Amino acid sequence: MHSLIGFISDAHGNGRAFDRGVSLLLQNGAAHIFFLGDAIGYIPSTAVLDSLERLGNAVECIRGNHEAMLLAGPINPAREPMYQLEALRPNLCRYLDIISSWPVLRRQDINGWNVLMVHGSPADPTYGYVYPDSDLASFSPEADWVFMGNTHHPFIRECGGTHYVNVGSCGMPRDDGRYGSVALFDPNARSVRILRFDISKECRQVLEQYPAVHPSVRDLFERKSPAVEGEMM
């Protein structure tokens, strides 16, 4: 696998934003795409799973913490108003086997680079959180590159000879709620680009469609930051 590789994560039911992110990766030359988990959660929609089904083998998936919580179920009633997973469960019958088949991590040789893909962190592939200011020295991933999501905060850092890339969230960013993010990896050039794109319209549409989305989740889309990581597209 020598071509550009796309990474996308944390769509959380925001199907239109997910589709925008996939299209952006393809338009910028991605020959293959990896989805790093959390197709569901917060927004009770199957739209992202529907898109993944249409995309077929063009996108390979990893299980996120929201998929893991759904499969482990039932959800803590105190958390359900925010997570919206039990509300979604009756619509997921045809997808449960597919979600169950997603691995918790992928380790792959890409053009001679040892690449580890997780949703969370090298130490906790599903539930770990790695932020832009997290201590990376505690990890021993035995990889040249680590790609991850879960925090919804994108960054690119190097520590101990390993490049760590959090690809952020395509559908529910937590740094600036207006701009989704994806990552494009060029293994030949040994480089990664974080691409940002305006999802304001898509977010308004999905929140209108699903009025039960929790107020704390709605507030995420109102966040603004004076400095946004990545290239604005």
What's the pLDDT tens digit per position in 170-189?
999 999 999 999 999 999 99
Angle at which helices 15-27 and 47-55 cross, to 10°? 30
Order of all β-strands in the sheet with 113-118? 105-110, 113-118, 145-148, 162-166, 155-159
Is residue 17 assigned to a domain?
yes
Residue 143 is assigned to a structural domain of this protein: no
Q: Is residue 211 part of a domain?
A: yes
For residue 68, the enclosing domain spans: 5-113+170-232
pTM of the model: 0.97
Q: Let me know if residue 123 belongs to a domain.
A: no
Q: What is the CATH number of the domain that holds 176?
A: 3.60.21.10
Number of structural domains, the chain?
A: 1
Has residue 159 been placed in a domain?
no
Q: What is the pLDDT of residue 2?
A: 56
Task: Please give the backbone phi and psi of residue 157, each rounded to the nearest 5 degrees, phi first.
Answer: -140, 160
Q: How confident is the model at residue 24 (pLDDT cuts 50, 70, 90)?
A: very high
Q: Is the dihedral of CA 104, 186, 198, 48 positive or negative?
A: negative
Computed over its alpha carbons, how large is the radius of gyration of the chain?
16
Residue 103 domain-assigned (yes or no): yes
